[in-house]
Chains A and B, each alone.
Chain A
Amino acid sequence: TQLLEQSPQFLSIQEGENLTVYCNSSSVFSSLQWYRQEPGEGPVLLVTVVTGGEVKKLKRLTFQFGDARKDSSLHITAAQPGDTGLYLCAGAPGANNLFFGTGTRLTVIP
């Protein structure tokens, strides 16, 4: 079983603050995905990273894949209440399936 640990589990911040959440594993992944899930809804794919050291930006969100392809981070600049949700990382060890972390629950307070 591939173990993906996300930290922190819970994060509550004020609007306008910056934050970083982490996704770590002892396993190597061929790709890693980040999803955001709002209450009562399914996860929505934000980004896929595939190359060690890769950095992708999506507006105020910056995703980084570790050089060794075992970890990833998500940085949000100037958080807004609309960023509130459960952030899930998911790693693909190869072409089969995804293994999901348990998520970071983010609350941005107006």
Chain B
Amino acid sequence: DVKVTQSSRYLVKRTGEKVFLECVQDMDHENMFWYRQDPGLGLRLIYFSYDVKMKEKGDIPEGYSVSREKKERFSLILESASTNQTSMYLCASGRYQETQYFGPGTRLLVL
């Protein structure tokens, strides 16, 4: 079975803090993705990566950056957290971009 793990299930941060969310997959997938999920808005793509050190902006990259130094690990960084970044963050990976396997999610609260 594909396993995608995320570093935290729940996280509480203060406005202005730098936040790191980490994602690790064990299936040697080339593609990895970060989404946020909000009620009524569905899943929105923040960034994705199709190879080590490669990244592409998704639909809502503002306020976020990513890092992929190793194939199995994809990190999402909130440079200066704001309250409107309170959300559920989902990481996914896949050999092909159209079939993605998700981690359990990180529920982030920014106060």
Contact = CB atoms under 8 A, between A and B. Distances in A.
A41 B104 contact: yes
A42 B102 contact: yes
The A interface is mostly helix, strand or loop, or mixed, namely loop
B100 A98 contact: yes
A100 B48 contact: no
Interface string B75-111: 0000000000000001110001111111111010000
A100 B43 contact: yes
A38 B101 CA distance: 15
The B interface is mostly helix, strand or loop, or mixed, namely loop
Contacts of A41: 104-105
A96 B97 contact: yes
A40 B41 CA distance: 17
Interface residues of A, number: 23
B102 A44 contact: yes
Contacts of B102: 35, 42-45
A97 B42 contact: no
Interface string B25-45: 000000000000000111101
Contact of B99 (A42, A48, A96): A48
A15 B47 CA distance: 40
Contacts of B58: 97
A45 B105 contact: no
B90 A43 contact: yes
A62 B42 CA distance: 23
Interface of A: 1, 30-31, 33, 35, 40-45, 48, 88, 90, 92, 95-98, 100-103
Interface of B: 4, 9, 40-43, 45, 48, 58-59, 90-92, 96-105, 107
